[in-house]
Amino acid sequence: MSERIGTRIKIAALLLFSLGSILLSVGVGSVFISPGDTAAILWDALFHTGLPASIDPIYPDLILSLRLPRVLMAFLTGAAMALGGTVMQSVLQNPLASPYGLGISSGAGLGAAAVMVMGLSSGAVGALLLPGVSLLSGLFTVILVMGICTRLDRSMNNTAIVLVGMVFSLFLNAVMSLLATASPQHAQRINLWQLGSFSMKEWHEVVILFCAVLLCFFIFLWNSDKLDILTFGEEQAASLGVSLKSSKWLLLCAVAAVTGTAVAFVGVIGFVDLIAPHIVRRFFGSSHKRVLPACALLGGSFLTLCDLLSRTLTPPREIPIGAITALLGAPFFLYLYFVGKRRETGC
């Protein structure tokens, strides 16, 4: 019982931290708006309670049409990648697996790059076409990787999946670089987008990503028992009553959907998908009922804060978000992993 209460407190703390990071990120920028004012503006936008006279009339517009979509986009992308990473690691029983590693991110990226090169990425068509194509090519990559693995080894061996995924990922990245070289007028956009960016985000993008994240989150949560069991390996999972093939397909396709949508809007972002699950498991244990919500919140706030740094450290220029996540994530991850390991084994 006390353990359950402890988990609730930790989740509540994480929820507050997430809200705090969102409020902070919305407030900080070229113009500083205090968290109190930010909260008042958001409250007014939701419930039309009227604004205190002390708030500059430009602020609501600045927050609601510029900063908030960007911040929410960062949060949702973080949540999407972290969820994708968690599920991927459990399904493949490999703590080093991630959507990036299986080629989903690169596949989705290539799809989106193709749409850009064909000049279809602008306007209302692009708004739907870009995520659609990107999601489908992410899915297609998964199907291709798993298809090849099934051919190689009928039991869909997991080492093979990770290996083939890695090969695919490298190959697709190379194709993307070729594409960028072949069409110089799009090269800059493709290159920039390979590093990921949250600038110029629109509300409809936020809504689409929100729906994708919410849907996949519930699919994962609904399958949390299966995810727990799958971490013990395929033979054991099957003998406990999990039908391997259908579960794997459903879960990996959902991962492709949620990460593919995120990649379509913001570009290729790594690291969150790999590290968020590890950090969460250190504090919440491994049970997916706890790990999934905690991971979504942690991944979300981590990327929100990374984006805050990326646009405030060197104004007016932005540091690519991918650089920030790796710069912060890599040492932090090493610290947690090795210090944690040492404490666990007691040497």
Partner 1 sequence: MLSVKNVSCGYGGSPVVQEMSFSVRAGEILGILGPNGCGKTTLLKALSGLLPASGEILLCQKPIKGLSRLEIAKKAALVTQLSPVSFSYTVYETVEMGRYAHRSGLFPRTGERDRQIVLESLSRTGVSELRDRPVTTLSGGQLQRVFLARAFAQEPQIILLDEPTNHLDLGFQLSLMEDLRAWVKEKERCAVGVLHDINLALRFADRILLMDQGKAAALENAGNLDLSLIDKVYQAQIQDYMKTSLELWRSC
- Return the range that interacts with partner 1 (CB under 8 A); candidates 39-47, 115-123, 136-144, 227-235: 227-235
Residue 129 within binding range of partner 1, rule CB under 8 A: no
Question: x/- contact string, 260-299, with partner 1 (CB under 8 A)?
Answer: ---------------------x---xxx------------
Per CB under 8 A, the list member of 241, 315, 316, 347 interacting with partner 1 is: 241
Choose, by CB under 8 A, the member of 128, 152, 235, 335 that binds partner 1. 235
Q: Does 3 bind partner 1 (CB under 8 A)?
A: yes
Minimum separation from the CB atom of position 211 to partner 1 (A)? 22
Tell me: does residue 344 bind partner 1 (CB under 8 A): yes
Residue closer to partner 1 (CB basis): 176 or 242: 242
Residue 233 backbone class (left: φ over 0; alpha: ψ -120 to 50; beta: rest) = left
User: For partner 1, which stretch binds (CB under 8 A), given 5-13, 123-131, 236-244, 297-305?
Assistant: 236-244
Q: Does 95 bind partner 1 (CB under 8 A)?
A: yes
Using rule CB under 8 A, residue 240 touches partner 1:
yes
b vs e for 135-150, b when ≥16 Cβ sit within 10 Å of the residue's Cβ?
bbbbbbbbebbbebbe
* Cα torsion 51, 64, 77, 312: sign: negative
Candidate segments 122-130, 133-141, 242-250, 292-300, binder of partner 1 by CB under 8 A: 242-250
317-324 long-range contacts, Cβ below 8 Å, gap at least 24? Answer: 318/197, 318/199, 320/192, 320/195, 320/196, 320/197, 321/74, 321/195, 321/196, 321/197, 321/198, 321/266, 321/269, 322/194, 322/195, 322/196, 322/267, 322/268, 322/269, 322/270, 322/271, 323/195
Taking CB under 8 A as the rule, which mask of x and - marks residues 167-206 in contact with partner 1? ----------------------------------------
Identified binder of partner 1 from the candidate list 127, 210, 214, 225, rule CB under 8 A: 225
CA 30 from centroid of its chain's CA atoms: 26
Please, what is the minimum distance in Å from the beta carbon of residue 180 to partner 1? 38
Based on the shown chain and the rule CB under 8 A, indicate whether residue 82 belongs to the binding site for partner 1.
no
| x-or-dash string of contact with partner 1, 38-77, rule CB under 8 A | ----------------------------------------
Query: Is residue 222 involved in binding partner 1 (CB under 8 A)?
Result: yes
Maximal C-alpha separation, the chain: 69
User: What is the closest distance, in whole angstroms, from the C-beta atom of residue 99 to partner 1 in the complex?
Assistant: 19
Is residue 231 within the footprint of partner 1 (CB under 8 A)? yes
Of the candidate residues 49, 65, 188, 239, the single one contacting partner 1 (CB under 8 A): 239
Give the footprint of partner 1 on this chain (CB under 8 A): 3, 90, 93, 95, 222, 225, 228-229, 231-233, 235-236, 238-244, 281, 285-287, 344
